[in-house]
Chains A and B, each alone.
Chain A
Amino acid sequence: MTDKRTIRVDTLARVEGEGALDLHIQDGTVVQAQLRIFEPPRLFEALLRGRAYTEAPDITARICGICPIAYQMGAVHAMEYALGLKVDGPLRALRRLAYCGEWIESHALHVVMLHAPDFLGYPDAIQMARDHGPMLNRALALKKAGNEIIRVLGGREVHPVNIKLGGFYRVPSRSELKPLAAALDSALEHAIELLSWASTFPFPDFERDYEFVALRHPGEYPFNEGRIVSSAGVDLPVCDYESVFEERHAAHSTALRSVIKGRGGYLVGPLARYALNFDRLPEHIRSLARDAGLKPICRNPFKSLLVRAVELVYACDEALRLISCYEMPDRPAVEGLPRGAVGYGCTEAPRGICYHRYEIDADGTILGARIVPPTSQNQLSIEADLRQVASRSLHLPESELRALCEQTIRNYDPCISCSAHFLKLTVHRERVSHDSPC
């Protein structure tokens, strides 16, 4: 007799994008977990072809309303690579500041509004607000602080328009950054309180031996620059990304799925970044992480919430440091001329590394583009987590198992809008007896 069950959850809430999950269980084992992404492909790579090299940052910013900076930064770094441009000094610092803004707004939204309700037993943040109002207020203030950074540097909070190859269209004066610092002083306190609060959550006891992949920079916790490294020994310049990583198509998903050639799935995002760069965090942030119960390496995907909270503290702290050191540059951007070349860029979006490659011709027309967002890279890991989490939780009542599966997916803060670009979770449970005709 074979016991075959299919569990169905039709709609996954609190994720960005549309998709579904099918979970097939046979004889007490999860035999298949398919993350089905059915949002139509958005074809950004195709629509970039034939456009000017200067247009890539503004076009790619439209891939995501939550993490447009990641796409803009990937695009400008890749194009600057192609042109042989180097951006440093205050312009580079402003780019890091923009990235801090994006991490603050994205992590605050996910940690408190989207993920915390799972751990505290509420259906959503609105229900949670009645009992945890002060934390919700802290999250709202953090989100506003992040938005303000993006507004000041990007011209507006959503799909910023002030970022260009070589720097910015306009750079802020020191006095324009001053109000940001005042808000960030409070934001830093909010973030530290959120981390302390999150450290009390009941985290499921679950670990998996991931291959972590992240950027690593000689002196910084990574945002914009670094080599691509992994916990299993990958150590590459960004231009060699495709020699080790490849995208594959699966019939059940409109998003391509990335693997390490010859090995399979891997993990990008907060857990990977933290494990591979713990020593790059300032000591006072490491100390806060330890106080929250985190070791230098964390393999529990549910505790990604805690790591995001650590990164939230770091982003506020780093933003304050960058603002305090800022001197307005002489010019808002360095200029460069196009040439026939291939450019590569990879930056740390809130959800993990985001890779860009562009081929341009001598007059700067884009001939080809490849963009690999973090959620595409994490699809196999999401499915593997689900198989294992579900396998050991089959004794749970249907509704609890379904909730746990959704929570497992939300560990990744999946931005399905970016990967193809929205998620419905569909888990199925069926019981079939081969001994019986019915």
Chain B
Amino acid sequence: MTAPVERISLVVIGVGNPDRADDGIGPLVAARLGMLPGARIMSCNSDGFTLIEEWSGADIVVLIDAATTVSAPGRIHRIDLSSDELPCELGIASTHAFGIAEAVALARALDRLPRRLVIYAVEGVCFDYGADMTPEVAAAVDEVAGLVAAEAAGCLPNSMRTDAWRTDP
């Protein structure tokens, strides 16, 4: 038994808690995108399991989430799960026990991964309740929104179809 009943070409989900500083990058990018033709754009601040239902029926899914700092706050990583593994060192930040990594593993076990799942992970440094977003992370919002829009339009340059390309936020 699987849920899909309606095919949606693209679902974009901004994951995170807007009230926890850099964790809010996902919802902020989703809000910045507003509407994209043929796409459903939404935010998710619930546990990772919810994501599987949210992307049900979608062909392509783009998630935007905060990650822990590996090199520099604001650095953007693009991970295409059809070719890449979710890198452990990014520790995709989750304020819940079940994050994106668990959702992806469960979806894989249930054969409910979309045909293509791309994650934009932005390195954050502050996840305090009620704190302002770090300037370097806030400065990445427009760029991530632009990249997701390009992704939706199917015109992401090949040079960006790799892991992290942005080393100097």
Contacts and interface: CB of A to CB of B under 8 A. Distances in A.
Interface in B18-63: 45-47, 49-50, 52-53
Contacts of A144: 50, 53
A126 B112 CA distance: 13
A142 to B, nearest CB: 10
A14 B3 CA distance: 25
Interface string B98-130: 100010011001111000000000000000000
Interface stretch (A73-81, A130-138, A250-258, A383-391): A130-138
Contacts of A137: 1-3, 110, 112
Q: Mostly helix, strand, loop or mixed at chain A's interface?
A: helix
A126 B106 contact: yes
Nearest to B44: A157
B88 interface: no
Interface residues of B, number: 20
Contact of B1 (A126, A127, A134): A134
A16 B110 contact: no
A149 to B, nearest CB: 13
Given A137-B1, A143-B50, A147-B46, A129 B96 contact: no
Specify which of A16, A126, A144 lies most central, judged by the most chain B CB atoms within 10 Å of its CB: A126
Contact of A141 (B3, B46, B47, B111): B3
B97 interface: yes
A137 to B, nearest CB: 5
B109 A130 contact: yes
Given A140-B53, A141-B53, A147-B50, A133 B109 contact: yes
Given A126-B105, A126-B106, A133-B110, A140 B3 contact: yes
Nearest to A159: B45
A126 B46 contact: no
Interface string A104-145: 000001000100000000000111011001101110110110
Nearest to B104: A126
B109 A129 contact: yes
A13 to B, nearest CB: 8
B106 A125 contact: yes
A158 interface: yes
Contact of B110 (A65, A136, A147, A158): A136
A65 B109 contact: no
Nearest to A16: B97
Interface string B131-151: 000000000000000000000
Contacts of B50: 143-144, 147, 157
Contact of A129 (B1, B98, B106): B106
B101 to A, nearest CB: 10
A141 B49 CA distance: 10
A143 B53 contact: yes
A158 B45 contact: yes
Contacts of A134: 1
A4 B87 CA distance: 45
Contacts of A129: 106, 109-110
B44 to A, nearest CB: 9
A137 B110 CA distance: 8
Contact of A143 (B49, B105, B106, B110): B49
B1 A140 contact: no
A109 B52 CA distance: 14
B111 to A, nearest CB: 8
B90 to A, nearest CB: 19
B94 to A, nearest CB: 12
A64 to B, nearest CB: 12
A137 B56 CA distance: 11
B98 to A, nearest CB: 8
B74 to A, nearest CB: 26
28 contacts: A14-B97, A16-B97, A65-B96, A125-B106, A126-B102, A126-B105, A126-B106, A129-B106, A129-B109, A129-B110, A133-B109, A133-B111, A136-B110, A137-B1, A137-B2, A137-B3, A137-B110, A138-B1, A140-B3, A140-B49, A140-B53, A141-B3, A147-B46, A147-B50, A157-B46, A157-B50, A158-B45, A158-B46
Interface of B: 1-3, 45-47, 49-50, 52-53, 96-98, 102, 105-106, 109-112
**Sorted from nearest, which 10 A-B pairs have the closest CB atoms?**
A129-B109, A144-B53, A126-B105, A134-B1, A126-B106, A133-B110, A157-B46, A130-B109, A158-B45, A129-B110
